[in-house]
Structure 1
């Protein structure tokens, strides 16, 4: 399947995170990080039209010394962006890392609403690498390397005690009833609270234009989540060869379907032929937490992954600079764009109607892809054409038979 796509250079703006707020509103996070390269760390708001053109609407420059936005999630109903930004070194040294930032987009402008610290003190190398919303937008999960916090939204009230994991966290996903944390070697499946905490006034409704600092004062009243399942890397995707989880997502339209990406390091056994690094996508049945389908789709590690809002497509980026689309039902490849970037892509995201896919890279570029016609629609047209062809063949056969019968008489 062919797809139209356009590359856009963003001079002096390495891209590390992205989210769509609507069909056309795209927010990018990037910059030079904590290095002294002179490249400033920013959030940028763009308009992306159906023909993949790009228009800068606004940008928000972070304070000097703060890190680049390394994770991002969009709350479409409130036009709100959650992103992870480590504070400047002076605050880190005082254990005052306000890593969780909430921005609103109003009248095509980015506005900082609140900051909050969710990472445990003492580790200056830790950063917020995960930010995800529940399907209805009422829950928010954010995580660093080994600790995840769960909040109600928009009140930002803690709903559970922070979860600490032995293995490194790479991703998380929420359904209506469960939270799944993807660590390097396990999927940890937790039951969500049966009744959501009553919503308190949102920081967005207080003091227009003024930053608010949220606190964890309600943390002592939060309960501990129940661990339901611990799922290991499946053997079909390198569970016995050092495979590790790198991304995890529920299907937005069916929480009985779950997707994971798994990277396997290259084989170093001297007695056998060397096996290159591989990447797998797995489709899971969450009723039994067993794998329904597995596909080996790359000889390099996967670097970013997303599922479209309609659940039909899986978008991925690979360390060989490739990006692509898979069918969400059978995992078959639909689109592959080679050398989409000069450096491995760090983020990939679908817009709300699943008509556009955007990838970003530290090479100071993004690539916008027009998602092709739905495979389901293509299959329907194929079936219709086959039926029409069959009917024509039958009609011709009947006419020929009648003609022959008439000739004999």
Structure 2
């Protein structure tokens, strides 16, 4: 998995998973030196070989902490002790694990860092106050469906306003998807403002939700969902109004399932990785594909990220490679610049 720290360094998490694969499970922090096209390793932590590789890295915007998913050993999972949501403190010298939770795979911090959302194979969304880690509202059940993705409203532009003791209270949203369900909840009480069951574009076509993101910057009024057809004949990105919840536009992105999805901090770009081992970038306003790079990895990309200044696009895969692309000011044919690839 890949994540950029608030200062712009890049954290990589990966490995061979549980068992004797010969590839160690690690968390490693790097400084990117773009002019020299090199990287400098700042620190590295080798994790237990009995546990799974790290996934779903999410950074706190103000403190040097991040959350990630690391499945416990098979023995602990069998007895119901899968402490797979971990919170780490970090510096350029070391990582220190400070908390863990059970049965959580997806994690995300709110923009102000006061909330931590977790979800996963237990089919429950849990939102915690940070740093107390007290439950903000009762867990929300997704009826035995694994939670695939979740995201906080980053700006408050989608927020609802309520009066409490003559004071205006801003209530932010969180969006969550499972294979067949999308919910948008209040972060105050967990109230469901909008829900979609079973994404359908044609009655004869079976579709599944795969990913979701709120817009940022110029796209702050919107949110986006990825919908894959189960037949793998098409995959879509759907743009929604985050205030009225109306569908604005739907765009066919390709014939292979999208396996990873993200949005740039300036809100201009939607990044994706696909099951044909390719990566691409769409315009967030028109959903037009601006860039498509085929066969970047030996396996489908599992993680992608934009740098905070939206000039770099990074992808990683189960083939244990990471690719870093420098984005052009204008997207024209042949403008892609792969800075470097490393293992």
**TM-score grouping bracket, smaller chain normalisation:** 0.7 to 0.9
How much has 1:262 moved relative to structure 2?
Answer: 0.7
Whole-angstrom CA distance in 2 between matches of 1:330 and 1:239: 26
Q: Does 1:262 align with 2:227?
A: yes
Whole-angstrom CA distance in 1 between matches of 2:83 and 2:176: 23
SS in 2 for 1:91: helix
* Structure-to-structure mapping, 1:84-163, within 5 angstroms: 84-106=69-91, 108-119=92-103, 128-145=104-121, 146-163=123-140
Whole-angstrom CA distance in 2 between matches of 1:374 and 1:328: 15
> Unpaired segments of 5 or more residues in structure 2?
157-171, 332-343
Whole-angstrom CA distance in 2 between matches of 1:240 and 1:230: 22
Q: Deviations over 1:180-216 (max 9, x none)?
A: 11111121111121xxxxxxxxxxxxxxxxxxxxxxx
Instruction: Single out whichever of 254-263 and 319-328 deviates more from structure 2.
Output: 254-263
1:49–1:24 Cα change, 3 Å? farther
Tell me what 2:339 maps to. Answer: none
SS in 2 for 1:92: helix
* Structure-to-structure mapping, 1:223-234, within 5 angstroms: 225-234=190-199
Q: Which has the higher contact order (CA 8 A, sep 6+)?
A: 1
How much has 1:53 moved relative to structure 2?
Answer: 2.7
Instruction: Single out whichever of 334-343 and 286-295 deviates more from structure 2.
Output: 286-295
Q: 2:214 aligns with which of 250, 253, 257?
A: 250
How much has 1:340 moved relative to structure 2?
Answer: 0.7
Which structure has the highest helix share of the two? Answer: 1
Q: Deviations over 1:226-246 (max 9, x none)?
A: 12221245544x575111110
Tell me what 2:338 maps to. Answer: none
Whole-angstrom CA distance in 2 between matches of 1:228 and 1:311: 24
Which structure has the highest strand share of the two? Answer: 2
The RMSD of aligned alpha carbons is 2.0
How much has 1:288 moved relative to structure 2?
Answer: 2.1
Whole-angstrom CA distance in 2 between matches of 1:361 and 1:102: 23
Q: Does 1:53 align with 2:38?
A: yes
Tell me what 1:14 maps to. Answer: none
Q: Does 1:309 align with 2:265?
A: yes
1:49–1:66 Cα change, 3 Å? same
> Unpaired segments of 5 or more residues in structure 1?
1-16, 120-127, 194-223, 267-275, 376-409
Tell me what 2:64 maps to. Answer: 79
SS in 2 for 1:173: strand
Is residue 23–residue 351 contact of structure 1 (8 Å, CA) maintained in 2?
no
How much has 1:86 moved relative to structure 2?
Answer: 1.8
Tell me what 1:220 maps to. Answer: none
Q: 2:244 aligns with which of 260, 274, 288?
A: 288
Q: How many residues were matched structurally?
A: 310
Whole-angstrom CA distance in 1 between matches of 2:261 and 2:328: 18
How much has 1:58 moved relative to structure 2?
Answer: 1.6
How much has 1:144 moved relative to structure 2?
Answer: 0.9
TM-score by length of 1: 0.71
How much has 1:129 moved relative to structure 2?
Answer: 2.9
Tell me what 2:160 maps to. Answer: none
TM-score by length of 2: 0.84
Whole-angstrom CA distance in 2 between matches of 1:163 and 1:103: 25
1:118–1:148 Cα change, 3 Å? farther
Whole-angstrom CA distance in 1 between matches of 2:304 and 2:84: 22
Tell me what 2:20 maps to. Answer: 36
1:291–1:366 Cα change, 3 Å? same
How much has 1:22 moved relative to structure 2?
Answer: 3.5
Tell me what 1:180 maps to. Answer: 175
Whole-angstrom CA distance in 1 between matches of 2:246 and 2:45: 44
Q: Does 1:21 align with 2:5?
A: yes
